[in-house]
Chains A and B, each alone.
Chain A
Amino acid sequence: MDQKITRREFISLGVSTLALPAFLSSCLKESPKQALNFYNWSNYIGKNTIPNFEKETGIAVNYELFSDEEEMFAKLKTGVQGYDLAVATDFLIPRLKALNLVSPVPHDKLKNLDNLEPRFRKPPYDPNLDHSVPYLWGTTGIGYNKKKVTPAPSSWKALWDPRYKGKMTMLDNVRDAVGCTLLMLGLPTDTSDPAHLERVKKALIEQKPLLKRYTSAGFDGDLLAEESWLCQGWSGDVLRAAKENPAVDYAIPQEGSFLYVDSLCLIQGGRHHEEALKFIDYLLKPEVIAEVTNTVSYPNPNRNSAPYLSKSLAADPRVYPDSRTMKRLSFYNVLKPEVEDRWNQLWQQIKVA
């Protein structure tokens, strides 16, 4: 065979190379069909939520997942384009706002906004819900294995119990690790007092040799597989593990804990905000969000969703805490940037210790 490239082949190669950018850009261009790019936590939506919305409205939803909100934030911060709607945890919202990464939410476009419980209408991280609409919420608590851990943990101190050495995990984020340690020590949860922080540091460094690992994405899997017996974790994930392994249970310690809200935010620069708002309004319908809760075991902030919830979930105080437990729960504090820096440095010192 002749190995030389013939002229025609060469030209066709050249033409196709020249055509490549045009081809690529046509791929990236808008399809005439309405679409919406939605960025969400993994395992955080109902089975039929998106298909039903697509059927109802004809808007195609491109669904992308993250398992780490820091990763999500880093991606948005570096200016990755193309997202219209993202789920962000409450503490991220002031940051997203300050860095101009989210657009205001026009309330007049949301017919179903009144379905929100009053408690979630004025949260400290976004007092008028100008930039976020609550999606689901949850609590931080202790997940444990009933067979291995007796008595059942009632205090954060359980996570310092040397009997469970190597069988415990802590959440890998500063808010929950430092926040809950402050609660355990009976200190104010927005402190920047060096003496307070020193005590937290000492406690967490003491705890380190007892831990299997710090993890925010694997605590439920470890608990399910009985690789860990005790963990600091988020309610829904622990309860999902409990569905598969009946030995798993969840408790909120007596010192109190945090309640967090995951919210829907319009991402600055997204080109489908109209569609995104339709989707937010759809998620504010009681029957729609109830299906999400039924799937993921995280409570929703919709005051009219109770009739659509599966009975076992609605009556479960581990999902919807009773009013006594509710008094012990608070939102994360919105820390001043310099206090947040201080906490981050503290967390770093604990990690390297």
Chain B
Amino acid sequence: MAADQGGVITAERAPQTRRIGPVESFLSWLVKGENNLASQLLLLPTSFWLTVFLLVPLGLLLATSFAQRGDYGSIVWHFSFGNYLRALNPEYLPILLRSVRYALAATIVCLILGYPFAYYVSFFVEGRKKDLFLIALMIPFWSSCLISIYSWIIILGSEGLINSLLPALGLPKIQFLNTSFSVILGLTYFYLPFMVLPLYSSLEKIPKTYLEASKDLGAGCVQTFLKVTVPLSFPGIFAGVLLTFIPCVGDFLTAEFLGGPQNYLVGNLIQNQFMMAQDWPFGAALASLLIFFLLSGLWVYKKLEGRSLGMELR
């Protein structure tokens, strides 16, 4: 016990008689969380973080979206709805729809690829080996996202890996890059772990006894899967779909490098306002609108989900 080295060593030193210092008693008070104040103190660092680095910037974004662009890209704090009116111009609608379409496609592909993987790892892989599978899933994250994009360019390019192999097999070259295919592929590649991890954590939590009970009660494998496993993994599906879909809608790097001029997405449009066009207020309005659309989509979904659950209970 380093703390008590200087004290007199007595025979009857026992844990319960050890003097507790003020720091230690404070820590134990904090960690026990019996007191309301203590438990709130535990939230302090995160609240501080979220306030300073999320709420304040969001507020600034919202404020900027009502300002106006001055000469040479400066911001003039003159209130107007002009940016929003401009953002709702129908010429931007196809871009928004395209982004939603690509994000949806990538999310569906992620779900189709991710669910069997998560299912396999949660039910058929034992103990330590699970970590191995999850690490394998995370490996792409260890390299920078730009390097992965360039690797895809090398693989898919018109003089790239696949296209240099195709003629050897007697097949014609295929234009992979700069198509909707390459953008959706890129999105799927980057966001697959965001789908798998929540799926895995919800499938993992399903007690095997439930599955056994279902079989005991006469359900076949398929029926057990459809009526027990899938519904119980629903929170994971929901979280995975959200974690994939939302960043996909706003992604701009993938479209920038793999999409070509025909696959301009809403993320590129917003990024362009902040960089090339130097029109921050308009960019802020576009970004705020996107957040608003996503939040209201989520809200509608929650409402519908609540209603359908209610109907089931009745």
Among B1, B71, B261, B264, the residue within 8 A (CB) of A6 is B1
Q: Is A24 an interface residue (CB 8 A)?
A: no
Which B residues, 52 to 93, have Cβ-Cβ distances below 8 Å to chain A? Answer: 69, 71-74, 91-92
By beta carbon, the residue of chain A nearest B160 is: A227
By beta carbon, the residue of chain B nearest A173 is: B276
Q: In the bound complex, do residue B72 and residue A227 qualify as a contact, i.e. CB atoms below 8 Å apart?
A: no
Q: Is B95 an interface residue (CB 8 A)?
A: yes
Q: Is A68 an interface residue (CB 8 A)?
A: yes
By beta carbon, the residue of chain A nearest B95 is: A352
Most chain A CB within 10 A, of B92, B177, B261, B268, is at B261
- What is the minimal beta-carbon distance from A192 to any residue of chain B, in angstroms? 15
Q: In the bound complex, do residue A70 and residue B2 qualify as a contact, i.e. CB atoms below 8 Å apart?
A: no
- A226 neighbours in B (Cβ, 8 Å): 159
By beta carbon, the residue of chain A nearest B157 is: A227
Q: Is A7 an interface residue (CB 8 A)?
A: yes
A347 to B278, CA, bound (A): 13
Q: In the bound complex, do residue B275 and residue A9 qualify as a contact, i.e. CB atoms below 8 Å apart?
A: no
- B12 neighbours in A (Cβ, 8 Å): none
Q: Is B166 an interface residue (CB 8 A)?
A: no
Q: In the bound complex, do residue A5 and residue B27 qualify as a contact, i.e. CB atoms below 8 Å apart?
A: yes
Among B3, B158, B272, the residue within 8 A (CB) of A348 is B272
Which B residues, 1 to 60, have Cβ-Cβ distances below 8 Å to chain A? Answer: 1-3, 21, 23-24, 27
A353 to B262, CA, bound (A): 8
| Stretch of A41-49, A93-101, A130-138, A264-272 lying at the B interface | A93-101
Contacts A225-B159, A349-B91 given; does A7 touch B24 at CB 8 Å: yes
Q: In the bound complex, do residue B2 and residue A337 qualify as a contact, i.e. CB atoms below 8 Å apart?
A: no
Q: In the bound complex, do residue A98 and residue B260 qualify as a contact, i.e. CB atoms below 8 Å apart?
A: no
Q: Is A4 an interface residue (CB 8 A)?
A: yes
Contacts A5-B27, A6-B2, A77-B73 given; does A166 touch B178 at CB 8 Å: yes
- B2 neighbours in A (Cβ, 8 Å): 6, 8-9
Q: Is A103 an interface residue (CB 8 A)?
A: no
- What is the minimal beta-carbon distance from A222 to any residue of chain B, in angstroms? 9
Q: How many residues on the B side are at the interface (Cβ–Cβ under 8 A)?
A: 35
Q: In the bound complex, do residue B72 and residue A98 qualify as a contact, i.e. CB atoms below 8 Å apart?
A: yes
Q: Is B175 an interface residue (CB 8 A)?
A: yes
Q: In the bound complex, do residue B3 and residue A227 qualify as a contact, i.e. CB atoms below 8 Å apart?
A: no
Q: Is A73 an interface residue (CB 8 A)?
A: yes
Q: How many residues on the A side are at the interface (Cβ–Cβ under 8 A)?
A: 42
| Stretch of A107-115, A210-218, A255-263, A303-311 lying at the B interface | A210-218
Q: Is A208 an interface residue (CB 8 A)?
A: yes
Q: Is B190 an interface residue (CB 8 A)?
A: no
A70 to B269, CA, bound (A): 15
Q: In the bound complex, do residue B21 and residue A7 qualify as a contact, i.e. CB atoms below 8 Å apart?
A: yes
Chain A binding surface, main DSSP class? helix
Q: Is A71 an interface residue (CB 8 A)?
A: yes
Which A residues, 1 to 55, have Cβ-Cβ distances below 8 Å to chain B? Answer: 2, 4-11
Q: Is A209 an interface residue (CB 8 A)?
A: yes
- What is the minimal beta-carbon distance from B82 to any residue of chain A, in angstroms? 13
A132 to B226, CA, bound (A): 70
A213 to B261, CA, bound (A): 5
Q: In the bound complex, do residue A213 and residue B178 qualify as a contact, i.e. CB atoms below 8 Å apart?
A: yes
A341 to B72, CA, bound (A): 9
Mark contacts of B194-205 with chain A using CB atoms, 8 A cut-off: 1 yes-contact digit, 0 otherwise.
000000000000
Among B21, B159, B260, the residue within 8 A (CB) of A213 is B260
By beta carbon, the residue of chain A nearest B70 is: A337
By beta carbon, the residue of chain B nearest A10 is: B23
Q: Is A351 an interface residue (CB 8 A)?
A: yes
A54 to B92, CA, bound (A): 52
- B73 neighbours in A (Cβ, 8 Å): 73, 77, 95, 99
A7 to B6, CA, bound (A): 13
Known: A214-B261, A351-B269. 20 other contacts (CB 8 A): A6-B2, A7-B21, A70-B276, A74-B274, A94-B72, A98-B71, A99-B72, A209-B262, A211-B261, A213-B178, A213-B260, A213-B261, A225-B157, A227-B158, A344-B279, A347-B276, A351-B261, A352-B92, A352-B94, A352-B269
6 A-B interface contacts by CB (under 8 A): A10-B23, A99-B73, A225-B159, A227-B158, A351-B269, A352-B264
Pick the 4 closest A-B CB pairs, nearest first. A337-B71, A95-B72, A70-B275, A7-B3
